[in-house]
Chains A and B, each alone.
Chain A
Amino acid sequence: MNRSTRLDRVFYWLGLIVIAWAVLTFLLVPMLAALQAALFRHGSLAMFDAVSELARSRRVRAALWNTVWMTAATTLTVTIVGMFQVAVLEYFRVPERGFLKIAFSTPLVFGGVVAAAGNNFTYGPSGAITAALAALFPSLPRDWFIGWFGVLFAHTFLMTSFHFLFLRAAMRRVDYSTIEAARSMGASEMTILRRVVLPVILPTVLAVTLLTLITAMGSFAAPQVLGGRDFHMLSQMVLTLNSLRRPDMAALLALLMGLVLMGLILLSQYFEAKGAYTAGAKATTRIQLRAIRNPLARIVVTALAYLLAAIYLMPVALIVLFSFAPASSIGIDVLPSSFTLANYARVLGGGAAFVPFFNSMLMSSIAVAVGLAITLFAVPIMVRKHSWLTRGLDICFVLPWIIPTMLLAVGLIVAFDAPNPLVGNLVLLGSYWLLPIGYVIFSLPLMVRFMRSAFIGIDPAFDDAARAMGASGPYRFRRVVLPLVAPTAILVAGMKFNNLLAEYPLSAFLYNINNKPLPIAIVDGAVSADPDQAAVSLVYVTLIMAFSLAVILIAERLSLGRTPESSNL
C-alpha cells in the first residue's frame, strides 16, 4: 500500500510540474514576448513611437475606420434582426414556430469560416444566387456581393446566435403573471412591453449587444473572404503586418485591439451578472405567446419571419446541394442538374484534397486529447485544494478567453521564432507543432469551465463511500469519478473538436505548408476561381456542418446545452 501511494505522489507532482511548465512556456512566456515586442524597442519603452508609426500607415488607418463603422453598423443590424427573431419565437404567435426556430438556429452550425465561405458560395462570384441574378440582369458584375456589403450582410445574419441563445432564455424568464397583472390594470401592449418586459430583459440585451460588438470588432474570416481587395479590417492588418515581418507592429495592433476587447468583455460580464441577478432563478409562469390583433401587422410580421428563415436556410441548402454537384456546374447553374459523389471521393480519397482534412482531424484530435488530459488531471485538484498555486493555475487556464486569439498567436510566433531554452532550444515556428500547441491553449478555457462544474457537481458522499470500501485515489478516480464526468468530457471534447476544425485566427497565423488546416483551405477555395477547388471547399464546409450538428444533437441528448464562445468570424 505504501509503495503504491508513493508512486501516486510521484505521478501527482510530475503531472503538476509538467502542467506548470506548459503554462509557463506556451501561455505566459508568449504573452510576455508579445508585450515586449509591442512596447519595447532596443530595450527601452517605445510605445508612442510605435503607435505613431502605426498611425502613419494609410492602410492601417483605413482598416481602423472600416472596423469602427462596420462594428457599429453590424451591432445595429444584428440587434434589429436578433430582436425580431426573439419577438417572433418567444413573444408573438406566428405559425410554424418550430420551423422558424430551426432556421434561426443555423448560425450555431454555420459560423466563422464556414459561414464566410458559405455566403461566398451563395452570393459571391461563383455563387448560385449570382448565377441566377446574372441570368436576369446580364449587366450585373459577378462580384456585386464582394466588399463592405457582403461583410455587413454576413455579419447581420450570422451573429444572431447570442440573441438566439441568451435573449430567448431571458425572455422565458419573464414572469407571465406580471404581464397579466399589468393587463388587468388596463396597460396597453406597448406599455407592457416597455414597462414590464423590457426592464427584465434589459441587462441581457446589453450583454448580448456587447458580445455582438466584440465579435464584430474581431471579425476576421468574413472580411478575408467577402471583403475583396478594397475592404479590410484590423484583424487582417495584424496578419498582414506579421507576414511583412513586422511582428512588433502586429503585436502592438493586436494588443491595442485586445485592450478594447477586454474592456468590453468585462463590461458584458458585469451586465450578464446583473441580468442573472434581476431575473433570479425563481419558478415563474411561462410567458404565453400573444396573437397579433391587427391583420395587416400580422401578415407583415409573418412574411418577414419567413423571408428571414429563407435567408438563413438558403446558403446551407445550396452548399449541401452543390457539394454533390459536378465542379463544372458551380457558378454556372442555379440548381445542380446532376449529382455525383466525385467531390466527396476527392476529399476522402486520400489525394491532395484529403491533406487539409487529415491535418485538421489530426491536429484537432491531438489538441482535444491533450487538453482533456490536462483538464482531467488539473481540475479535480483545483476543485479540491485551494492554494495560491491552484488559483494561479485557474486564472492561467481561463486567460486565453480574455486575451484575443491574435495576440496569443503573435506571442507564440515571437516567443518561438528563435531557439527557446524552455523547449530544449528548438525553433518551433515553422514546425508542425506550434499550431496544435496553440489549439490546446485556445481549448483550455471552455474545457476547464465545463469540467469544473462537472467535478463540483459530484456528491462528496460517492468519494467517502468508495474510500470506506478501501478504494485508493486512482482507483476511485477511474471507477467512480471518471464515469460520472465522462458525458461532460465527451461533450466538451466534441464541441472543441468542432470549433478547431473551423478555427481561423490561430490557424491563419501559425500554419505552414506542413500542416495546412481545413479553415485555411476553405478560405483558399472560397476565393479561388478554380471550380475544382471550390467544389472541394463545399465538401469541407458540409462535413464541418454535419459534425457540428451531430455535436449539438448529442449535447441536447445529454441536456447540457451549448455555450457559444465568441465565434471565430
Chain B
Amino acid sequence: MADSVLSLNKLDVGFPGMTVVRDLNLDVADGAFVSLLGPSGSGKSSVLRTIAGLLPALGGRVLLEGQDITALPPERCNVGIVFQNYALFPTMSAFENIAFALRVAKKSKAEVERRVGEVAEMAGISDQLDKKPANMSGGQQQRVAIARALVTGSRVLLFDEPLSNLDAKVRAAMRKEIKRLQSELGFTAIFVTHDQEDALTMSDLIVVLNHGKIEQIGDGRTLYRKPATPFICEFIGVSNELAPPLAARLLGYDVKGRSFLRHEDVLLGAVAGVPARVNHVEFLGAHSRVDLEVEGHALSAMLIGDQLPEPGSTVSLGIRPGAAHVFQEVTG
C-alpha cells in the first residue's frame, strides 16, 4: 500500500520467553482512525508499546512512512502516545508537560515556547498552560495529553485505552473530542480499547485481537454484519448461540458447527412461526429484552416500543431472513 503511513510487517510482540501476539500484519492509511479491539490481556498494549519502541519486537518490522523504526529507541520512533489516565506528570504544569520532550531534546527556550504555544493553540488550551493537571477537567487533561504527544511533530498518535476509567456520559463526550481534534489536526490514530462502543463509534478500521491473533479486520459495519468468526459474533453486539436442533428448526437446514442470531433479529408474532413461551420481559428504556423458551431452548429477543408480550403467554417466533451467522465446520 503506497499511502500507508504505518505498516506492521509479520510483527511478533511479547516478552522474552512469552510471545503475546504473533505474526501481526497491518497497514494504516494516512489520517485513518484505527482501533485495536480485544478483551483485556489480549496483548493490545503490548502491540502499542512495541510500535512506540518501548518494548523490543520479538520479530518482524514496524515501518513508519516507509522507514524501518523497529529497533530505534522510543524518542526516535516519532510516534506520540496518549496513555490510560493520560499519565500527565502531576508535579508539572500543563506547559511543562507539553514541553517535556522538547526539553529532553535540549531545544532552545524560544523554540520550546513557540512550539508549545502552537500546539496548545491548536488543541484549544492556550489559557490552561499554567495549571497543574489536578486542577484541570478531564477534557482539558485529554487535550494536554494529545498536545504533549503531538509537540515533537509526530504524525501518528497511539492511544492506550484513554477512556477506560470514565463514566458513560463523559466517555461519549471524550470520543467526540478526540475525533474533532483528529479532523482538525490531521493525525493518524491507533486507538486501543476493550470497549466495542469506542471502536464502533470512532474507527475507520477495527482490528480485533484475541489470544494473540487477529480475528478480523474491517470497518464497524462489516464486523457487525459479517463477523468472520464466532468470537467476533459474541464479542460485538449481543447474540443468541443456537443449539444445533434449534438452528435446524429455525433455519430449515442442518448446521454442523456454531450458529448465532442477534437479539434484534428474533421476530415475534411471525406468520407461520415456531411457538415460543414468554418467560420474562425486562424493560430497558429504549428497548426491552424478552426471554423466551423454544422447544426447550432459551432464546432472547430485543423489542422496540411498548407493545410487549405478557410473561407466560405463547408467541409465534420467526427470524429475520438471512440474519443468522452460521459457522459451518469444514472437517467432519
Contacts and interface: CB of A to CB of B under 8 A. Distances in A.
A and B bind? yes
Interface of A: 1, 459, 461-462, 464-472, 475, 479-480, 483-484, 486
B234 to A, nearest CB: 31
Contacts of B73: 1, 470
B85 A471 contact: no
B52 interface: yes
Interface in B56-76: 73-76
Contacts of A484: 89-91
Contacts of A462: 87, 89
A483 B52 contact: no
Nearest to A461: B87
B144 to A, nearest CB: 12
Nearest to B160: A461
Given A468-B74, A468-B77, A471-B100, 6 more contacts: A465-B83, A469-B74, A469-B100, A472-B104, A483-B89, A484-B90
B91 A464 contact: no
Contacts of B54: 464, 467-468
Contacts of A479: 89, 100
Contacts, number: 60
A464 B89 contact: no
A469 B84 CA distance: 16
B152 interface: yes
Given A483-B91, A484-B91, A471 B81 contact: no
Interface residues of B, number: 25
A465 B49 CA distance: 11
Contacts of A465: 81, 83, 87, 89
Contacts of A483: 89, 91-92
Overall SS of chain A's interface:
helix
A461 to B, nearest CB: 4
A484 to B, nearest CB: 6
B105 interface: yes
A461 B83 contact: yes
Contacts of B202: none
B45 to A, nearest CB: 10
A469 B100 CA distance: 7
Given A461-B83, A461-B84, A461-B85, A468 B90 contact: no
A380 B101 CA distance: 23
A287 to B, nearest CB: 32
B223 to A, nearest CB: 29
B52 A468 contact: yes
Interface in B125-153: 148, 152
B85 A468 contact: no
Contacts of B90: 484
16 contacts: A459-B85, A461-B87, A462-B87, A462-B89, A464-B81, A464-B83, A464-B87, A465-B81, A465-B83, A467-B54, A469-B75, A469-B101, A470-B73, A470-B104, A470-B105, A479-B89
